[in-house]
Chains A and B, each alone.
Chain A
Amino acid sequence: MSDTMQVAENLVYKKPKTLLDVAMHYCPGCGHSTTHKILCEVIDELNIQSEVVGVAPVGCSVIAYNYLDIDMQEAPHGRASAVATGIKRVLPEKLVFSYQGDGDLAAIGTGETLHTCNRGENILIIFINNGIYGMTGGQMAPTTLENMKSTTTPFGRDVKKMGYPIKMTELVAHLPGTYYVTRQSVHTPANVRKTKAAIKKGFEYQRLNKGTCFIEVVSNCPSNWKMTPIDSNKWLVENMLPFYPLGDIKVPSKEEN
């Protein structure tokens, strides 16, 4: 923001410092932009800009680094957690996160995701589950719900032929390498606050060197779901959340903290 701008006396909200003042390419109402914003708020509030290295995936958030004023790397499709592993192993004092879509993390990158979590890499994985391949135009994702339509399941996902929607978050929670596993969403202000609190914990826990923090954000894709942003959030509540219930799945035990 420019210095000459008038600051309101009763300022109640401002753009986080770490969020760059540029137009975003995300579609209106998309959960990616909300998640970026709260990620930046957390970086501001913890004052960790100089310690954070982020990894962007291939997916709609491929150019996340255009919006976040931090050092970042852009990984090949599915490999963000391997790239993050490489960074963290040589910079163990830094705070490393990967930000990945559901196609990236749960289809092409399943192996890297599971093994990163199984090794208990001390990184934060932020997993945006919108049940679809947003970037490539709405094809089926591994998370696409049963009977949900996509461009490659035009009659709805037939689980007999296409397999079942996969719950990566429950899967990684089983692994001893994960320390904190939670599923959140950003479709209401209350949920945004909870997700922000989760991301904050994700970074704080990273300093303990106790294992991988994994935060799923159940998100939307108004464009490829072919809905208005408001309808997409309604659809999310009615269809995504019953299958992907919100809440903590694995939390550090009391005596550890």
Chain B
Amino acid sequence: MGELKLMKGNEALAEAAIRAGADAYFGYPITPQSEVLEYLANHAEKRTGMVILQAESEIAAINMIYGAGGTGKKVMTSSSSPGISLMQEGLSYIACSEIPCLLANVVRGGPGLGTIQPGQSDYLQATKGGGHGDYKLIVLAPASIQEMVDFVKLGFDLAFKYRNPVMILTDGVLGQMMEKVELFDQIPRSKEIPRWATVGKPPTRERNIMTSLNLQPEPMEKHNEHLQAKYREIEKNEVRVETIDCDGADYIFTAFGLTARICTKAAQLAKAKGIKVGLIRPITVYPFPYEAYAKYATKVKGFFDVEMNAGQMLEDVKLGVLGKAPVEFYGRMGGMIPTPEEVFKAFEEKFLGGKA
């Protein structure tokens, strides 16, 4: 059993980065995730020699990631919504150049400067590419501090397996709250140099180039096809989803991250009234677990999607259900967190004509 600790989400994420053997972190302060950089500044270098640098902006940070990631090192950044928006051009370059890296978006309510309270309103940006061009990030949505920790390790593994950026899509509550976590043991920093890394060209190999450019459309289309084939592979292999009590359920609640925990409570309220409710929680929001919805679409009376946004995952839920059952939505925006009672009440109103 690994070391048990009571930790704040952002600090747990940072601790996991050190333990995962990350080589470098480049970031810029923004609430509600500044503790990641603060914690790393305090602990990382003296423990593993990990490089920690506060960049002058998120634009600089993501480009430092591009450079350092291109050398084959395990690199990571984190930010919150406005900062992640600034990183989008760099992410598009990184995805196209197939540089592995890990980033965390500790989402706050938007749009604009929004609030510093939690949100889930960057779902579409995270899962549909976010920047320009046809590309995808692998997106993991933790619902506990334990998953914040575990997904750092998983995230690095997936990033290197597919040479693709991986995002941990979390929120201000998970970043700020404390929970008990089991930490994995320290993984030594790797000394391996991937064959594609730009580390200086020895006479024994061709030069390595990190670029996203092709002046000719034909090879650029070929590269796009290569990327798309990789995404299909990811969709085939990497879907992760949690389903609770869905067999025999009359209704299925669905949510990701923090709202999934709220929905678990709301489902208990329903069960106390004798209503059979299940829960589908996508763990990877890209690749999205469409099949989990398709499987139950003909068996339930309806799906109830809850998010801290105006209905973003809703589009994917509907693609999974494909019109075979009613899908209703309840959302709070701008940093507001729904309570389980409120969620249950909304469910009653939408599906049960007001009262269970």
Residue ranges of A at the interface with B (Cβ–Cβ < 8 Å): 49-53, 55-56, 62-63, 65, 68-76, 79, 82-91, 94-95, 111-112, 115
Q: Do the beta carbons of B199 and A89 come within 8 Å of each other?
A: no
Bound together, the chains give a CA A90 to CA B109 distance in angstroms of 34
Q: Which residue of B is nearest A98, CB measured?
A: B67
Q: Judge whether B63 and A89 touch: CB under 8 Å.
A: no
Q: In the complex, A63 Cα to B66 Cα: how many Å?
A: 17
Give the CA-CA distance A124 to B32 in the complex, in Å.
36
Q: Which residues of A contact B64 (CB under 8 A)?
A: 82-83, 85-86, 89
With A69-B201, A76-B90, A115-B60 as known contacts, state yes or no: A83 contacts B67, CB within 8 Å. Answer: yes
Closest partner residue, chain A, to B90 (CB atom): A76
Interface string of B47-83 (1 = CB under 8 A from A): 0000101011101110111111111010100000000
Chain B residues in 8 Å Cβ range of A73: 66-67, 70, 97, 198, 209-211
3 nearest A-B residue pairs (beta carbon): A86-B67, A86-B64, A86-B68
- The interface residues of chain A lying within 8 Å CB-to-CB of B89 are 76
Interface residues on B, range: 35 or more
**How far in angstroms is the closest Cβ of chain A from B205?**
10
Q: Are A86 and B209 in contact (CB under 8 A)?
A: no
Q: Kindly list 16 other residue pairs between chains A and B, CB separation below 8 angstroms, not including A72-B210, A111-B56.
A: A52-B201, A56-B211, A65-B209, A68-B207, A73-B67, A73-B210, A75-B63, A76-B63, A76-B66, A76-B90, A79-B63, A82-B55, A82-B64, A87-B68, A89-B68, A111-B57
Cα–Cα, bound, A85→B149 (Å): 28
Complex contact B68–A90 (CB within 8 A)? yes
Q: 17 A–B contact pairs at CB < 8 A? A: A49-B200, A53-B200, A63-B213, A69-B201, A71-B199, A72-B210, A73-B67, A73-B70, A75-B63, A79-B90, A82-B59, A82-B63, A86-B70, A90-B51, A94-B200, A111-B60, A112-B59
A51 to B66, CA, bound (A): 19
Q: Is B24 an interface residue (CB 8 A)?
A: yes
- CB of B202 closer than 8 Å to a CB of A: yes
Using a Cβ cutoff of 8 Å, how many contacts connect chains A and B?
A: 132
**Residue from A51, A62, A112 with most neighbouring chain B CB atoms (10 Å):** A112
Quick check: is B123 within 8 A (CB to CB) of the other chain?
Answer: no
| Chain A residues within 8 Å of B65, by CB | 86
Q: Which residues of B contact A (CB under 8 A)?
A: 23-24, 26, 51, 53, 55-57, 59-61, 63-71, 73, 75, 89-90, 93, 97, 198-203, 207-213, 215
Q: How far is the CA of A90 from the CA of B25 in the complex (A)?
A: 10
Question: Are the CB atoms of A55 and B67 closer together than 8 Å?
Answer: yes
Closest-CB distance, B199 to chain A (whole angstroms) = 6
* The one of A70, A71, A74, A111 that contacts B213, using a Cβ cutoff of 8 Å: A74
Question: Which single member of A52, A76, A87, A115 contacts B71 (CB below 8 Å)?
Answer: A87
The smallest C-beta distance from A17 to any residue of chain B, in angstroms, reads 11
B residues within 8 A CB of A76?
63, 66, 89-90, 93
CB distance from A100 to the nearest CB of B (A): 13
Judge whether A72 and B209 touch: CB under 8 Å.
Answer: yes
- Residues on B with C-beta less than 8 A from A56 are 211
